[in-house]
Structure 1
Amino acid sequence: MKTGIIIIFHNNEKEMDTDYFIEQIQQTRNLELCLVNNDSKDNTYGLLRDVKDECDNVSVVNVRKFKSDMAAVKAGARYMFSEFDLKHLGYVSTNMLNIKYHGLNGLIEVITENQDAILNYKIKTLKKKQTLFQSLFSLLDYLKKIRENNTFINVQYQRNL
Protein backbone atom coordinates (compact mmCIF):
# COMPACT_ATOMS: atom_id res chain seq x y z
CA MET A 1 0.00 0.00 0.00
CA LYS A 2 1.39 3.39 -1.00
CA THR A 3 1.28 6.87 0.43
CA GLY A 4 0.15 9.76 -1.73
CA ILE A 5 1.26 13.39 -1.74
CA ILE A 6 -0.87 16.19 -3.21
CA ILE A 7 0.90 19.42 -4.16
CA ILE A 8 -1.27 22.41 -5.11
CA PHE A 9 0.16 24.86 -7.66
CA HIS A 10 -1.13 28.28 -8.76
CA ASN A 11 0.87 30.46 -11.16
CA ASN A 12 4.23 28.88 -10.25
CA GLU A 13 5.78 28.79 -13.74
CA LYS A 14 8.68 31.07 -12.78
CA GLU A 15 9.51 29.12 -9.62
CA MET A 16 9.44 25.65 -11.22
CA ASP A 17 12.56 23.85 -12.39
CA THR A 18 11.01 20.88 -14.19
CA ASP A 19 14.33 19.09 -14.70
CA TYR A 20 15.05 19.21 -10.97
CA PHE A 21 11.49 18.10 -10.14
CA ILE A 22 11.83 15.13 -12.51
CA GLU A 23 15.25 14.19 -11.10
CA GLN A 24 13.98 14.28 -7.50
CA ILE A 25 10.67 12.53 -8.16
CA GLN A 26 12.38 9.70 -10.00
CA GLN A 27 14.23 8.96 -6.75
CA THR A 28 11.01 8.38 -4.82
CA ARG A 29 9.54 4.94 -4.38
CA ASN A 30 6.16 3.95 -2.99
CA LEU A 31 4.98 7.56 -3.14
CA GLU A 32 2.27 8.60 -5.58
CA LEU A 33 2.32 12.31 -6.31
CA CYS A 34 -0.68 14.29 -7.49
CA LEU A 35 0.20 17.72 -8.84
CA VAL A 36 -2.92 19.91 -8.84
CA ASN A 37 -3.00 22.98 -11.06
CA ASN A 38 -5.42 25.42 -9.41
CA ASP A 39 -6.49 27.52 -12.42
CA SER A 40 -3.06 28.96 -13.22
CA LYS A 41 -2.98 31.78 -15.75
CA ASP A 42 0.62 31.06 -16.78
CA ASN A 43 2.24 27.85 -18.12
CA THR A 44 2.24 26.00 -14.77
CA TYR A 45 -0.15 23.35 -16.10
CA GLY A 46 2.12 22.67 -19.09
CA LEU A 47 5.15 22.27 -16.82
CA LEU A 48 3.23 19.89 -14.54
CA ARG A 49 2.28 17.78 -17.57
CA ASP A 50 5.96 17.70 -18.58
CA VAL A 51 6.84 16.31 -15.14
CA LYS A 52 4.04 13.74 -15.41
CA ASP A 53 5.28 12.59 -18.82
CA GLU A 54 8.70 11.75 -17.34
CA CYS A 55 7.61 10.21 -14.02
CA ASP A 56 5.53 7.06 -13.60
CA ASN A 57 4.35 7.95 -10.11
CA VAL A 58 2.92 11.39 -10.96
CA SER A 59 -0.65 12.36 -11.81
CA VAL A 60 -1.88 15.82 -12.74
CA VAL A 61 -5.30 17.24 -11.93
CA ASN A 62 -6.34 20.49 -13.60
CA VAL A 63 -8.83 22.63 -11.66
CA ARG A 64 -10.31 25.00 -14.24
CA LYS A 65 -11.94 27.47 -11.85
CA PHE A 66 -9.82 28.80 -8.97
CA LYS A 67 -10.72 27.22 -5.64
CA SER A 68 -9.50 27.61 -2.08
CA ASP A 69 -6.43 25.58 -1.19
CA MET A 70 -8.52 23.04 0.77
CA ALA A 71 -11.02 22.66 -2.07
CA ALA A 72 -8.13 22.02 -4.47
CA VAL A 73 -6.67 19.49 -2.00
CA LYS A 74 -10.03 17.73 -1.86
CA ALA A 75 -10.16 17.60 -5.67
CA GLY A 76 -6.74 15.95 -5.68
CA ALA A 77 -7.76 13.62 -2.84
CA ARG A 78 -10.89 12.46 -4.66
CA TYR A 79 -8.77 11.65 -7.70
CA MET A 80 -6.07 9.86 -5.71
CA PHE A 81 -8.50 7.75 -3.67
CA SER A 82 -10.39 6.72 -6.81
CA GLU A 83 -7.22 5.73 -8.71
CA PHE A 84 -4.91 4.23 -6.09
CA ASP A 85 -5.00 2.02 -3.02
CA LEU A 86 -3.44 4.48 -0.59
CA LYS A 87 -2.57 4.05 3.05
CA HIS A 88 -2.32 7.80 3.73
CA LEU A 89 -2.50 11.01 1.74
CA GLY A 90 -0.50 14.14 2.56
CA TYR A 91 -0.92 17.58 1.04
CA VAL A 92 0.90 20.87 0.68
CA SER A 93 0.01 24.07 -1.15
CA THR A 94 2.72 26.13 -2.81
CA ASN A 95 0.68 29.25 -1.96
CA MET A 96 1.28 28.60 1.72
CA LEU A 97 5.05 28.16 1.35
CA ASN A 98 7.73 30.68 2.12
CA ILE A 99 9.61 30.00 -1.13
CA LYS A 100 11.83 33.08 -0.98
CA TYR A 101 14.91 31.14 0.19
CA HIS A 102 14.48 27.58 -1.06
CA GLY A 103 11.90 27.77 -3.83
CA LEU A 104 9.85 24.86 -5.01
CA ASN A 105 13.03 22.83 -5.43
CA GLY A 106 13.34 22.81 -1.63
CA LEU A 107 9.85 21.36 -1.32
CA ILE A 108 10.43 18.50 -3.74
CA GLU A 109 13.84 17.87 -2.17
CA VAL A 110 12.41 17.63 1.35
CA ILE A 111 9.82 15.13 0.10
CA THR A 112 12.54 13.01 -1.51
CA GLU A 113 14.86 13.19 1.52
CA ASN A 114 12.06 12.31 3.94
CA GLN A 115 10.23 9.70 1.89
CA ASP A 116 10.89 6.93 4.43
CA ALA A 117 9.45 9.05 7.24
CA ILE A 118 6.47 9.94 5.05
CA LEU A 119 5.89 6.27 4.25
CA ASN A 120 5.96 5.49 7.99
CA TYR A 121 3.41 8.19 8.77
CA LYS A 122 1.48 7.53 11.94
CA ILE A 123 -1.90 9.20 12.20
CA LYS A 124 -1.41 9.72 15.97
CA THR A 125 1.69 11.90 15.39
CA LEU A 126 -0.55 14.83 14.52
CA LYS A 127 -3.40 15.68 16.82
CA LYS A 128 -5.73 16.98 14.17
CA LYS A 129 -9.48 17.09 13.95
CA GLN A 130 -11.06 14.66 11.53
CA THR A 131 -11.50 15.78 7.97
CA LEU A 132 -13.50 14.51 5.03
CA PHE A 133 -10.80 11.89 4.51
CA GLN A 134 -9.40 10.66 7.83
CA SER A 135 -6.09 9.66 6.26
CA LEU A 136 -5.48 13.16 4.83
CA PHE A 137 -2.69 15.06 6.60
CA SER A 138 -0.66 18.25 6.20
CA LEU A 139 2.76 17.17 4.98
CA LEU A 140 4.59 20.20 6.39
CA ASP A 141 2.95 19.88 9.81
CA TYR A 142 3.95 16.22 9.95
CA LEU A 143 7.54 16.85 8.84
CA LYS A 144 7.83 19.69 11.35
CA LYS A 145 6.86 17.26 14.13
CA ILE A 146 9.41 14.60 13.15
CA ARG A 147 12.28 16.62 11.62
CA GLU A 148 13.13 19.71 13.63
CA ASN A 149 16.54 20.09 11.94
CA ASN A 150 15.33 20.47 8.35
CA THR A 151 16.14 23.97 7.09
CA PHE A 152 13.33 24.06 4.51
CA ILE A 153 10.70 23.08 7.08
CA ASN A 154 12.06 25.51 9.67
CA VAL A 155 11.95 28.40 7.17
CA GLN A 156 8.28 27.62 6.47
CA TYR A 157 7.40 28.15 10.10
CA GLN A 158 9.53 31.28 10.68
CA ARG A 159 7.00 33.44 8.89
CA ASN A 160 4.37 32.48 11.46
CA LEU A 161 6.40 33.95 14.34
Structure 2
Amino acid sequence: MKKGLIIVFGKDDIDFDNTIIFNVLNKQKVTICLVNNGNYNKVQQLLSSLKEVSDTNVFTLSLKKEKSLLSAVKAGVRSLVNKYDFETIIYTSPKDINHKNYNTKFIEAFSNSFHERKDKRVLLRTLYAIDEVKNKIKGVNSLFHL
Protein backbone atom coordinates (compact mmCIF):
# COMPACT_ATOMS: atom_id res chain seq x y z
CA MET A 1 0.00 0.00 0.00
CA LYS A 2 1.07 3.56 -0.62
CA LYS A 3 2.02 6.27 1.82
CA GLY A 4 1.07 9.91 1.51
CA LEU A 5 2.34 13.26 2.69
CA ILE A 6 0.21 16.39 2.86
CA ILE A 7 1.98 19.75 3.16
CA VAL A 8 -0.34 22.70 3.79
CA PHE A 9 0.99 26.03 2.53
CA GLY A 10 -0.38 29.35 3.78
CA LYS A 11 0.27 32.87 2.53
CA ASP A 12 3.46 33.15 4.63
CA ASP A 13 5.07 29.97 3.30
CA ILE A 14 6.53 31.24 0.03
CA ASP A 15 10.18 30.67 1.01
CA PHE A 16 10.06 26.84 1.15
CA ASP A 17 13.00 25.32 -0.71
CA ASN A 18 13.44 21.78 0.60
CA THR A 19 13.14 19.94 -2.72
CA ILE A 20 15.62 17.28 -1.60
CA ILE A 21 12.97 15.63 0.54
CA PHE A 22 10.75 15.17 -2.53
CA ASN A 23 13.41 13.22 -4.37
CA VAL A 24 14.34 11.12 -1.33
CA LEU A 25 10.67 10.28 -0.77
CA ASN A 26 10.45 9.09 -4.36
CA LYS A 27 12.44 6.01 -3.39
CA GLN A 28 9.88 5.26 -0.68
CA LYS A 29 7.02 5.61 -3.18
CA VAL A 30 5.35 8.40 -1.24
CA THR A 31 2.66 10.50 -2.92
CA ILE A 32 2.82 14.17 -1.95
CA CYS A 33 -0.15 16.53 -1.91
CA LEU A 34 0.71 20.22 -1.74
CA VAL A 35 -2.26 22.26 -0.49
CA ASN A 36 -2.52 25.97 -1.29
CA ASN A 37 -4.67 27.10 1.64
CA GLY A 38 -6.31 30.28 0.40
CA ASN A 39 -5.59 30.25 -3.33
CA TYR A 40 -2.68 32.70 -3.11
CA ASN A 41 -0.98 33.38 -6.46
CA LYS A 42 2.59 33.43 -5.12
CA VAL A 43 2.04 30.17 -3.24
CA GLN A 44 0.51 28.57 -6.33
CA GLN A 45 3.57 29.58 -8.37
CA LEU A 46 5.83 28.05 -5.71
CA LEU A 47 3.84 24.81 -5.65
CA SER A 48 3.91 24.57 -9.44
CA SER A 49 7.69 25.01 -9.47
CA LEU A 50 8.10 22.40 -6.70
CA LYS A 51 6.01 19.98 -8.71
CA GLU A 52 8.09 20.58 -11.85
CA VAL A 53 11.47 19.96 -10.20
CA SER A 54 10.36 16.88 -8.29
CA ASP A 55 10.74 13.29 -9.44
CA THR A 56 8.16 12.21 -6.88
CA ASN A 57 4.45 11.78 -7.51
CA VAL A 58 3.35 15.29 -6.51
CA PHE A 59 0.05 16.99 -7.09
CA THR A 60 -1.34 20.31 -5.95
CA LEU A 61 -4.68 21.28 -4.48
CA SER A 62 -5.83 24.87 -4.23
CA LEU A 63 -8.54 25.87 -1.76
CA LYS A 64 -10.51 28.95 -2.79
CA LYS A 65 -10.75 30.36 0.74
CA GLU A 66 -8.30 30.09 3.61
CA LYS A 67 -9.42 27.41 6.06
CA SER A 68 -8.16 26.00 9.33
CA LEU A 69 -5.24 23.58 9.18
CA LEU A 70 -7.46 20.59 9.91
CA SER A 71 -9.96 21.55 7.19
CA ALA A 72 -7.15 21.97 4.67
CA VAL A 73 -5.71 18.60 5.70
CA LYS A 74 -9.10 16.92 5.30
CA ALA A 75 -9.35 18.34 1.78
CA GLY A 76 -5.91 16.91 1.05
CA VAL A 77 -6.90 13.52 2.48
CA ARG A 78 -10.01 13.43 0.31
CA SER A 79 -7.90 14.20 -2.75
CA LEU A 80 -5.38 11.49 -1.90
CA VAL A 81 -7.88 8.73 -1.14
CA ASN A 82 -9.83 9.47 -4.32
CA LYS A 83 -6.74 8.53 -6.33
CA TYR A 84 -5.16 5.64 -4.37
CA ASP A 85 -5.52 3.43 -1.32
CA PHE A 86 -3.13 4.64 1.40
CA GLU A 87 -1.64 2.79 4.35
CA THR A 88 -0.47 5.96 6.08
CA ILE A 89 -0.92 9.68 5.46
CA ILE A 90 1.18 12.21 7.36
CA TYR A 91 0.46 15.94 7.32
CA THR A 92 2.64 18.88 8.20
CA SER A 93 3.35 22.50 7.42
CA PRO A 94 6.40 23.60 5.40
CA LYS A 95 8.00 25.13 8.49
CA ASP A 96 8.09 21.74 10.20
CA ILE A 97 10.10 20.05 7.45
CA ASN A 98 12.40 22.86 6.34
CA HIS A 99 15.41 21.63 8.30
CA LYS A 100 18.70 20.23 7.00
CA ASN A 101 18.81 17.18 9.35
CA TYR A 102 15.19 16.37 8.71
CA ASN A 103 15.38 14.38 5.49
CA THR A 104 16.81 11.07 6.74
CA LYS A 105 14.74 11.00 9.91
CA PHE A 106 11.62 11.84 7.96
CA ILE A 107 12.28 8.86 5.71
CA GLU A 108 12.52 6.65 8.80
CA ALA A 109 9.04 7.83 9.72
CA PHE A 110 7.70 6.62 6.40
CA SER A 111 9.47 3.27 6.64
CA ASN A 112 7.63 2.46 9.88
CA SER A 113 4.11 1.14 9.76
CA PHE A 114 1.38 2.62 11.91
CA HIS A 115 -1.71 0.94 13.26
CA GLU A 116 -5.10 2.21 12.20
CA ARG A 117 -6.92 4.10 14.89
CA LYS A 118 -10.42 2.77 15.45
CA ASP A 119 -11.59 5.85 17.37
CA LYS A 120 -11.44 8.15 14.35
CA ARG A 121 -13.71 8.57 11.34
CA VAL A 122 -12.96 6.10 8.58
CA LEU A 123 -11.39 8.78 6.39
CA LEU A 124 -9.00 9.89 9.16
CA ARG A 125 -7.93 6.52 10.62
CA THR A 126 -4.67 6.49 8.70
CA LEU A 127 -3.93 10.22 9.13
CA TYR A 128 -1.13 11.29 11.47
CA ALA A 129 0.27 14.69 12.37
CA ILE A 130 4.02 15.03 12.11
CA ASP A 131 4.12 15.51 15.90
CA GLU A 132 2.54 12.08 16.38
CA VAL A 133 5.15 10.59 14.09
CA LYS A 134 7.94 12.26 16.03
CA ASN A 135 6.69 10.73 19.26
CA LYS A 136 6.33 7.25 17.76
CA ILE A 137 9.88 7.04 16.47
CA LYS A 138 12.32 6.20 19.23
CA GLY A 139 15.52 8.26 19.32
CA VAL A 140 14.47 10.71 16.65
CA ASN A 141 13.08 13.56 18.73
CA SER A 142 16.39 15.39 19.13
CA LEU A 143 16.79 15.81 15.37
CA PHE A 144 13.22 16.95 14.85
CA HIS A 145 13.49 20.02 17.06
CA LEU A 146 13.82 23.12 14.95
TM bin, normalised by shorter chain, reads: 0.7 to 0.9
**TM-score, normalised to structure 1's length?**
0.73
Distance in 2 (CA, whole Å) between partners of 1:33 and 1:146 is: 21
- The question of whether the paired residues in 1 share the 8 Å contact of 2:8 and 2:35 is answered with yes
- The question of whether the paired residues in 1 share the 8 Å contact of 2:35 and 2:76 is answered with yes
Aligned residues with identical type, % of pairs: 28
**TM-score, normalised to structure 2's length?**
0.80
1:32-82 CA-to-partner distances (Å, cap 9, x unmatched) read 111111015461221111111222311111111011100000000000001
- The question of whether the paired residues in 2 share the 8 Å contact of 1:10 and 1:37 is answered with yes
Equivalent residue, structure 1, for 2:47: 48
Unaligned runs of 5+ in 1: 156-161
Letter paired with 1:78: R
The residue correspondences of 1:6-155 to structure 2 (distance < 5 A) are 6-11=6-11, 12-13=13-14, 15-17=15-17, 21-28=18-25, 29=27, 30-39=29-38, 41=40, 43-55=42-54, 56-94=56-94, 99=95, 104-106=97-99, 110-123=102-115, 129-131=119-121, 132-155=123-146
**Matched residues, number:** 141
Superposed CA RMSD in Å reads: 2.6
Q: After the TM superposition, which parts of structure 1 deviate over 6 Å for at least 4 consecutive aligned residues? A: none
Deviation, structure 1 residue 90: 1.1
